[in-house]
């Protein structure tokens, strides 16, 4: 089973770039359907990317790091 960390760190960017095989996409979508924090993260990430692409710039690595840190903190909170 896919973990949140794998989703965020390994698959998210490829998922949005449509660079994954259909089996992996199906796995990710199953995960998202059962994992509101990852879904929120995905939507935030997507929106940020759209905003950034409108300015014809790359999303700054700092922004990605902040988003990832935020979500991992949320997930850590849920576990306690
Ligand atoms: Zn998740």
Task: Domain ranges for the chain, please list them.
Answer: 4-79
Q: Tell me, in angstroms, the distance from the centre of ligand 1 to residue 3's CA.
A: 6
> What DSSP character marks residue 52?
H
- Nearby residues for ligand 1 (ion, Cβ within 5 Å): 4, 35, 38
Please give the chain's pLDDT, 80 residues, in tens: 789 988 888 888 888 888 889 998 999 999 999 999 999 999 988 888 887 777 766 667 887 888 888 888 888 876 55
Q: Which pLDDT score is estimated for 58?
A: 66
pTM comes to 0.62
For residue 59, report the distance from its CA to the centre of ligand 1, in Å. Answer: 22
* Contacts within 8 Å (CB) and 24+ apart, 25-30: 27/2, 28/2
């Amino acid at each position: 089973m896919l973990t949140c960390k794998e989703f965020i760190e390994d698959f998210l960017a490829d998922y949005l770039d449509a660079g994954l095989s259909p089996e992996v996409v199906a796995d990710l979508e199953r995960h998202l359907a059962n994992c509101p924090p990852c879904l929120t993260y995905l939507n935030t990430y997507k929106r940020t990317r759209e905003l950034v692409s409108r300015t014809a710039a790359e999303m700054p690595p700092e922004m990605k790091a902040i988003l990832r840190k935020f979500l991992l903190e949320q997930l850590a909170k849920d576990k306690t």
